[in-house]
Structure 1
Amino acid sequence: MTFDIDQWCKRHLGSPIEDVLFTSGHLSRVFGVRLTDGREVIVKVRPDSPRLAACTTVERALWRAGFPAPEPLTDPIVEDGLAVSAEAYIPGGSLTPGTDHARRFAGLLARFVALAPRPEMVGTLEPDLPWTAWNHRLPGVWPAADDRDDDLNAPEHVTPWLDDTGARVRRRLSRFVRTPAGRRVVIGHGDWEAQNIRWDGDEPLVVHDWDSVMAAPEAVVVGLAASVWPCGMVRRAATVPESAAFLDEYQRAACRAWSADEIEASWAAGLWVYAFNTKKAGLDGQSWLAPDEAERRLALAGA
């Protein structure tokens, strides 16, 4: 991915780059730069997608509402098939809040969902992020991987217990989305990992990765987060007790007790991202999810 970031900043931010503070990225290239006018900004460069404009709309709405989001400085601007955008740089902070970790992460997500605009107000958030795309329309259990070319459904990649887990989760969530709660869609963050959030003591400083904004039933949004929220603080996904604590704390922060069906759907959504990541990791000889934990989570999901 080649791109003249200095010229882009001159054209769209009105100032060239004085210094590059850092570069990073996985699915996108992220540049932290200081401009000659003194501003410090983040410039993101990634392949264009129809969903990116809506992601920025959500980020701007939450920033205006006082949520700890960076201020978007541009909308995504498409050049040569790449979508490039800029936002304010908010440095510092800790990966870990001072106390009550599950309560802090769950409460912040509840605030995100409460402040986010309605999905119909922001434009398309499709295609779904692969690790959230339990309802994909491709043949086989698994969607296309987000960061590799391997066909996860290829015969040489068959993992019977894991593929069965994914299929059972998809059936469970398919039943849920036909219910009134399953049809009630909200906007949330699809990659609610500790590595994407920074804290100042117990106060959230900034939430990153706004390209991962998603629209889904609330139970799905929360279930995904409940499975991955410690990632970054620790080198693993959430344990079953950590996921349970997150679900409890979210309901408390949102001031609404969920139905048994919503709770089961949350467990199913959390298992989906866990299983999808395990499927990819297995191609490299790594393991995230063990069969016995998959069965425990399937039972909690009613699947």
Structure 2
Amino acid sequence: MPLNGLPDWLPAWCVDQLGDEPVSVLFKVRRMSAVFGLRLAGGCDVVVKAREDGGRVASCVTAQARLAERGCPCARPLTPAVGVGALAVHAEEYWPGGELLPGDSPDVAVRYAAVFARLMAELAVVTVAPPLPNPRWVRWDHTDSGVWPRIKELDDRGQGAVPAHVIDTADRVRKRLLAADLPCVLGHADFEAQNLRWRDGDVWVVHDWDSLAWQPEAALVGAACGAFASASPPNLAPIESSAAFLVAYQDLRGCRFTAEEQEIAWAASLWPAAHNARWEAVHGDTPVCCDAVRAQAAERLQRANA
């Protein structure tokens, strides 16, 4: 693709930070971040990511760099996070290829749990400033008024569309999570199928390291066990698959969650789904997570003692 549509600052940024200018665009993605796949004049392909800097980006990029040095399946950052106005920008290796691993069965859950256990073990030896505030879909620890963290693009829409069962679920989950007194650790908080690629049966690359969080281990594992199968649109995995994920994770890490940690994991498994259900409702989208929360909340809340 031609260079049309790139931000005005980006070509000069590439020259300054990478020593070369872009000559073509491999891809452009705009979600919470703007992501540009670029071919530089010297023939190197890179990915440049730009997003609003809430104070957490530098830690995420540093952690990603240290994981890449340790041989984890993630793209190696080529620059630190650099301020461009209100944005934090960094470049990383372009790591194409691989396939999605579809499905939400217990067998598939175990394969995802093995990857998550590996990532958590690697992150346990990485020391960075906590990447706070946490991503909004795991930000039950916010200090804003009400159940939800303040998110302007959602708050400005009609909240009357959000089903009462979603609000009640989120409220009960948040109270249970905040009642816990567990140490926080670093973990990948957007562990969804869409952010992983596989090759020949093994994980090839894990993307979206912008979404590191600082939460209790059990909560991070719980969020992952509910979200691992999500592609587009996101969904909530079946209860038996979340249970298989939790068991496999503990087996692979050589640990056993306490009764409280088990409850926290099940509580956290519902928060991203409730967040996504709210998003669906205020945007008028198909109620995928809304329906999943309605169907599964009672059982998950019981397991969470919430």
Fold-level match, TM-score > 0.5? yes
Q: Which residue of 2 aligns with 1:172?
A: 176
Q: Distance in 1 between matches of 2:35 and 2:276?
A: 23
Q: Distance in 2 between matches of 1:13 and 1:139?
A: 43
Paired residues of 1:54 and 1:124 also in contact (CA < 8 A): yes
Q: Distance in 2 between matches of 1:137 and 1:243?
A: 29
* Matched pairs, number: 295
1:138 to 135, 141, 144: 144
- Could you list the per-position Cα deviations for residues 42-74 of structure 1 after superposition, in whole angstroms to 9, with x for gaps in the alignment? 001111221000001110111111110111000
Q: Which residue of 1 aligns with 2:195?
A: 196
Does residue 1:47 correspond to 2:52, yes or no? yes
The within-5 A match list for 1:110-121 is 110-117=117-124, 121=127
1:282 Cα deviation (Å)?
A: 1.1
- Could you list the per-position Cα deviations for residues 117-139 of structure 1 after superposition, in whole angstroms to 9, with x for gaps in the alignment? 557x3113111111101111111
Paired residues of 2:234 and 2:276 also in contact (CA < 8 A): no
Unaligned runs of 5+ in 1: none
Percent of aligned pairs with the same residue?
39
1:30 Cα deviation (Å)?
A: 0.5
Q: Distance in 1 between matches of 2:161 and 2:145?
A: 15
1:233 Cα deviation (Å)?
A: 8.0
Q: TM-score, normalised by structure 1?
A: 0.91
Matched residue of 2:99: which SS? coil
Q: Which residue of 2 aligns with 1:238?
A: 237
Q: TM-score, normalised by structure 2?
A: 0.90
Matched residue of 1:289: which SS? helix
Does residue 1:209 correspond to 2:213, yes or no? no
Q: Distance in 2 between matches of 1:174 and 1:38?
A: 50
Q: Distance in 1 between matches of 2:137 and 2:91?
A: 25
Q: Which residue of 2 aligns with 1:298?
A: 301
1:262 Cα deviation (Å)?
A: 1.0
Paired residues of 2:77 and 2:92 also in contact (CA < 8 A): yes
1:187 Cα deviation (Å)?
A: 1.0
Q: Which residue of 2 aligns with 1:261?
A: 260
1:269 Cα deviation (Å)?
A: 0.5
Q: Distance in 1 between matches of 2:279 and 2:27?
A: 28
- Could you list the per-position Cα deviations for residues 179-220 of structure 1 after superposition, in whole angstroms to 9, with x for gaps in the alignment? xxx12x221101000100111122111111111011111001
Paired residues of 1:118 and 1:186 also in contact (CA < 8 A): no
Q: Distance in 2 between matches of 1:239 and 1:149?
A: 27
Structure 1 residues 235 and 159, CA gap change in structure 2 (3 angstroms):
closer
Paired residues of 1:225 and 1:270 also in contact (CA < 8 A): yes
Matched residue of 2:269: which SS? helix
Matched residue of 1:49: which SS? coil
- Could you list the per-position Cα deviations for residues 71-119 of structure 1 after superposition, in whole angstroms to 9, with x for gaps in the alignment? 1000111012111100000101011189942222111111111111557
Q: Distance in 2 between matches of 1:289 and 1:257?
A: 32
Does residue 1:58 correspond to 2:63, yes or no? yes
Paired residues of 1:95 and 1:233 also in contact (CA < 8 A): no
Q: Distance in 2 between matches of 1:27 and 1:7?
A: 23
- Could you list the per-position Cα deviations for residues 167-190 of structure 1 after superposition, in whole angstroms to 9, with x for gaps in the alignment? 1111111222x2xxx12x221101
Structure 1 residues 22 and 139, CA gap change in structure 2 (3 angstroms):
same
- Superposed CA RMSD in Å reads 2.2
Residue identity opposite 2:141 in structure 1: N
Paired residues of 1:97 and 1:104 also in contact (CA < 8 A): no
